[in-house]
């Protein structure tokens, strides 16, 4: 999409990479090519008493990961005809991408003057107002034609790793969706996996049952004890299981007999100290969960408790339901 020439820091750049909407995947976000995570947003510094923007400009800015930014960076399509469409701001639903000649801005179909203070009793019209774009050209100035779709995107770290890793391409298959972003985290879905990237972790895959648990039981990269992955899904030393480690100190382990479960924090650290799945505990058979006074993870050969007061770890053998060899303080 071409939005007109400008300088960096304004509505910059003549071309944009069209992404799935940051706040609504059914809409769109416009990312500046060559500037990952930098998007086109309304340049709004204040709102009128009616809740409307007191500016009509656009700017480009890096995402701060907030819900407010995601809404500002999201533009939803309104089809005006078979050939043309309008792009409405999700953050300011009365406002649209609007152009007049080479100027591009934020425009609405309404009064040219927006009140900047609440009128006093008997005061009509308000004595102070902000001039807005004239409404006369609204219909013609808010339509855009859709031309050639985005060419294949080879600029992102995800695309670059995929292009240079034959084994990874064979494992993940073909893409099934556009690359998406949530603050500094980016991902793209493929037939058999999802690839994640963050500047400090690089590009890594999560797939199969581990991906299902990561997304549907823990909420993916937003889960505080996980974040994005720091390794490609790997085979355990015994050849039986699979695992993924995540940047915030959590892991998910899977075997055909146990399924996939998450371990993190002090319990994970103790399990690692004992030798991971090669210890007498074996693989996890539960996610970490609350118990009176602490937290617990259950394994094939026993369990590990974290006791909040005084902050200690208890390692036990057998089953929590039947074992009498290890009594955890209530």
Task: Say what the pLDDT of residue 65 is.
Answer: 86
Residue 243 region by backbone torsions, left for phi larger than 0, else alpha for psi between -120 and 50, else beta: beta
Q: State the first-to-last Cα distance of the chain, in angstroms, to the nearest integer.
A: 62
Q: Which residue has the tokens 């915030």?
A: 248
Contact 54, 48 (CB under 8 A): yes
Task: Say what the pLDDT of residue 284 is.
Answer: 97
**Would you list the DSSP string of 128-172?**
-EEE---STTHHHHT-EE--SPPPP--SSHHHHHHHT-HHHHHHH
* Helix ranges, 193-264 (H): 208-216
Q: 3-state DSSP call for residue 217?
A: coil
Whole-number Å distance between alpha carbons of 105 and 71: 17
Residue 146 burial by Cβ neighbours in a 10 Å radius (0-12, 13-18, 19+): exposed
The values of phi and psi at residue 34, to 5°, are: 85, -5
- Cross-strand bridge partners of residue 193: 207
Name every residue whose Cβ is closer than 8 Å to that of residue 178 and which is 6 or more positions away in sequence: 18, 19, 20, 188
Closest CA to 210 of 188, 194, 191, 227: 194
Contact 185, 221 (CB under 8 A): yes
- What does the angle CA 32 – CA 23 – CA 249 come to, to the nearest 5 degrees? 90
Size of the chain, expressed as the number of residues it contains: 330
Q: 3-state DSSP call for residue 110?
A: coil
Q: 3-state DSSP call for residue 70?
A: helix
Give pLDDT tens digits along the chain (330 positions). 444 333 333 344 457 778 888 999 889 898 887 677 889 999 887 787 777 787 778 889 998 889 999 999 999 998 887 777 889 999 999 899 888 776 788 888 877 777 777 766 666 555 566 666 677 788 888 888 765 555 556 668 998 899 889 999 999 999 988 888 888 899 999 999 999 999 999 999 999 999 999 999 999 999 999 999 999 999 999 999 999 999 999 999 999 999 999 999 999 999 999 999 999 999 999 999 999 999 999 999 999 999 988 878 999 988 887 766 675 544
Task: Say what the pLDDT of residue 3 is.
Answer: 42
Cα atoms in the 13 Å half-sphere on the side-chain side of 49: 10
Q: Which residue has the tokens 């990237």?
A: 197
């Amino acid at each position: 999409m071409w939005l007109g020439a400008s300088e960096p820091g304004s509505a910059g750049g003549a071309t944009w990479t069209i992404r799935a909407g940051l706040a609504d995947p059914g809409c769109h976000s416009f990312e500046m090519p060559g500037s990952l995570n930098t998007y086109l947003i309304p340049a709004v510094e204040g709102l009128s008493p009616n809740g409307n923007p007191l500016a009509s400009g656009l700017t480009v800015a890096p995402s701060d990961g907030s819900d407010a930014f995601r809404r500002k960076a999201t533009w939803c399509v309104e089809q005006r005809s078979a050939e043309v469409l309008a792009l409405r701001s999700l953050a300011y639903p009365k406002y649209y991408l609007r152009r007049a000649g080479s100027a591009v801005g934020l425009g609405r179909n309404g009064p040219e003057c927006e009140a900047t203070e609440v009128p006093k009793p008997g005061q009509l019209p308000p004595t102070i107002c902000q001039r807005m774009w004239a409404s006369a050209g609204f219909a013609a100035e808010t339509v855009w034609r859709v031309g050639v779709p985005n060419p294949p995107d080879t600029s992102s770290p995800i695309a670059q790793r995929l292009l240079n890793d034959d084994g990874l391409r064979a494992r993940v298959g073909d893409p099934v969706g556009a690359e998406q972003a949530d603050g500094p985290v980016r991902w793209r879905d493929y037939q058999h996996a999802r690839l994640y990237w963050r500047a400090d972790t690089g590009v890594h895959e999560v797939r199969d049952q581990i991906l299902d648990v990561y997304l549907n039981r823990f909420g993916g990269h937003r889960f505080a004890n996980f974040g994005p992955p720091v390794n490609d899904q790997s085979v355990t030393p015994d050849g039986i299981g699979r695992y993924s480690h995540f940047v915030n100190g959590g892991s998910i382990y899977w075997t055909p007999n146990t399924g996939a479960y998450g371990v993190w924090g002090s319990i994970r650290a103790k399990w690692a100290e004992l030798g991971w799945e090669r210890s007498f505990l074996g693989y996890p058979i539960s996610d970490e969960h609350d118990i009176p006074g602490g937290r617990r993870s259950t394994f094939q050969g026993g369990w590990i408790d974290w006791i909040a007061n005084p902050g200690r770890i208890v390692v036990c053998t057998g089953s929590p339901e039947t074992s009498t060899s290890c009594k955890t303080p209530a």
